[in-house]
Amino acid sequence: MKILYFAWLRERLGRAEEEVALPPGVATVGALMAHLATLSPAHAEALAPGRGVRCAVNLDFAGPDHPVAEGDEVAFFPPVTGG
């Protein structure tokens, strides 16, 4: 599964994207975030609850209960600040 990071998440993690194998039982955005947080101390810090990180699955905003599956493009980023 392709994971993308934007803005300060990209900077903290030192990468704009990474390929991650979806472990069995990880089926929602929230569960995926919890899994990613185990990958490194930087991931744990950037994706910690309370950081206000938002998500999009396949180019649409998605909440923590939104399903994820192998082959999805999942992006994590801070609250948007355009305009």
Binding residues for other proteins, rule: CB under 8 A, are: 4, 6-8, 52, 56, 59-61, 73, 75, 77-83
SS3 71: coil
Q: How far apart are CA 59 and CA 11, in angstroms?
A: 21
Smallest separation (angstroms) from other proteins to the CB of 23: 25
Smallest separation (angstroms) from other proteins to the CB of 61: 7
Q: How far apart are CA 6 and CA 79, in angstroms?
A: 10
Residue 1 or 77 having the CB closest to other proteins: 77
Residue 60 or 65 having the CB closest to other proteins: 60
CB 20 within 8 A of CB 53: no
Q: Terminal CA-to-CA distance of the chain, rounded, Å?
A: 31
Smallest separation (angstroms) from other proteins to the CB of 40: 21
